[in-house]
Amino acid sequence: MPLRWDVREHISLAAYFGKWILIAIPLGAIVGVAVAFFLWLLNVATVTRWNNPWLLYLLPLAGIPMVIAYKHLGGESIRGNNLVLDEIHEPDAGVTWRMAPLVLFATVITHLFGGSAGREGTAVQMGGSIADIFPKIHKFSREDRSILLTCGIAAGFGAVFGTPLAGAVFSLEVLAVGRMRYTALVPSLIASIAADRACLLVGIDHQPYFIQSAVSLKIGSETFGFQPMLWLKVVLVAVVFGLVSFLFSETYHTLSALFTKYIKVYWLRPFVGGILVILITLALGTYDYLGIGVTTQNGTGVSIANAFHAGGATPWSWFWKLALTSITLACGFKGGEVTPLFFIGATLGAALAVTLHAPIALFAGLGFIAVFAGASNTPLACTIMGIELFGSEYTTFFAVACFVAYLFSGHSGIYLSQRIDVPKGGYLDFPVTGTLRSIREGRAHYGLGVRWQRVRDKLRSYLP
């Protein structure tokens, strides 16, 4: 059979590849430098707060100008990451250049005065905002503009965590539950790598994490290997990680609704939320649950880094971070949910490891990525993130933890604009179209209101 080849096909593919190299590399480089500047400011704010703990008492007042600025200058920017996701699905000029400086200012203020928040949301929104400047310089089609915004997400995520491959996959996987959008695969990878390189070139380093090598790791009196009990423990904690992902998402969204419903004056919401953060912090007697949470001022106490070592977390560290982050973000402060989810997952994993007599560093690492996987519905990106952060030795464990947590987080998540392309398994008949927001708003119909007879009949259908 003769070789069949239409040379025009590969010429068009080469042109497509060259086009996005010329676009994605400068986009990624600009986003990478912007993220580096943000991370530098964030570090300055964190160190300043460490050296001046009294700044926490100004948190209620610090939130007022922030929400006023968003009210009068931000427009749709107040929707944050959800706006970027909606714009990728249906480009409509909703993302503006103002999103980047607003979220940068608001996040630094949040961390300076002790709000419990992260950094991913800021980096992603900055990436999307910068990406949307390009169509204003040169006319792009709706499809290309959608790819540009996806590249912005990839660049921001890859640069802020130092995980370029995970950043590229995250930008494709986060758009819809159950399906990846491959149209932007190559452009996103180029942008993410360029952003990560640019961030490193200007001198920004990322926190290293280590999990003990499997060669020397011991479980009880035996060296690490194929151990059914260890696998069972991994699956069990993955289920817990998924349920905690659900708990975080629902707590955050519920508190947001309560602040909006009961505090009609919008600028009073961060004031009340700030007071709650102060009261809980004073009751706990520690500042460890404030700010970014990656490390602490003197290296002791509870932090993400310390969770990988014995005694680096208490049994309830994960809960207090969940509560403080939910309050901080729900009342109007800015930042992100991902690094707090790392904190929640790592400390929860460490606590479960002690209870189950399992390797602390391994379970902290599994929680680190799996709780985020469940809350963001991006199990593949989080598995890759585990490999980039901790090495490939535990890849199978990473995959099991992330995939199971993704399943047990249910149809919930921190990004309510995520669309449902392929519903997760279960006895409930969720619509194939729609978003997590529509699923959540209709959950009363699906949840406790479902008759037990319907549940029983559905479960019986799975039996032989």
Q: What is the 3-state secondary structure (H, E, C) of the chain?
A: CCCCCCHHHHHHHHHHHHHHHHHHHHHHHHHHHHHHHHHHHHHHHHHHHHHCHHHHHHHHHHHHHHHHHHHHHHHHHHHCHHHHHHHHHCCCCCCCCCHHHHHHHHHHHHHHCCCCCCCHHHHHHHHHHHHCCHHHHCCCCHHHHHHHHHHHHHHHHHHHHCCHHHHHHHHHHCCEECCCCHHHHHHHHHHHHHHHHHHHHCCCCCCCCCCCCCCCCEECCEECCCCHHHHHHHHHHHHHHHHHHHHHHHHHHHHHHHHHHHCCCCCHHHHHHHHHHHHHHHHHCCCCCCCCCCCCCCCCCCCCCHHHCCCCCCCCHHHHHHHHHHHHHHCCCCCCCHHHHHHHHHHHHHHHHHHHCCCHHHHHHHHHHHHHHHHHCCHHHHHHHHHHHHCCCCHHHHHHHHHHHHHHCCCCCCCCCCEECCCCCCCCCCCCCCEHHHHHHCHHHHCCCCCHHHHHHHHHCCCC
The pLDDT confidence band at residue 273, using thresholds 50, 70 and 90, is: very high
What's the whole-model pTM score?
0.90
Considering the domain 15-201, what is its CATH architecture? Orthogonal Bundle (1.10)
State the Cα torsion 404-407-409-414 to the nearest 10°. 110
pLDDT of residue 447: 45
| Residue range 232-408, CATH number | 1.10.3080.10
Maximum C-alpha span of the chain: 79
Give ∠ CA 161-205-368 in degrees, rounded to 5. 35
Per the CB < 8 A criterion, the answer to whether 396 and 381 are in contact is no
Q: Residue 152: name the closest of 137, 172, 138, 179 by CA.
A: 172
The pLDDT confidence band at residue 458, using thresholds 50, 70 and 90, is: low
Q: Residue 424: name the closest of 92, 177, 79 by CA.
A: 177
The pLDDT confidence band at residue 79, using thresholds 50, 70 and 90, is: confident
pLDDT of residue 451: 46
State the Cα torsion 374-375-380-384 to the nearest 10°. -110
pLDDT of residue 299: 84
**Parts of the chain belonging to CATH 1.10.3080.10:** 15-201, 232-408
Report the DSSP beta bridge partners of residue 223: 218
If one compares 64 and 88, the residue with the highest pLDDT of the two is 64
pLDDT of residue 432: 59
Rounded to whole angstroms, the Cα distance separating 209 from 200 reads: 17
Whether 428 has a pLDDT exceeding 80, the answer reads: no
- Residues of the chain with pLDDT > 70, as a percent, come to 87
- pLDDT per position as a tens digit, 115-141: 999 888 888 888 888 888 887 777 888
Rounded to whole angstroms, the Cα distance separating 401 from 395 reads: 10
Whether 231 has a pLDDT exceeding 80, the answer reads: yes
Whether 10 has a pLDDT exceeding 90, the answer reads: no
Strand 218-219 and strand 176-177: the pairing is: unpaired
What's the chain's average pLDDT?
86
The answer to which of 100-104, 331-335, 351-355 has the lowest mean pLDDT is 100-104
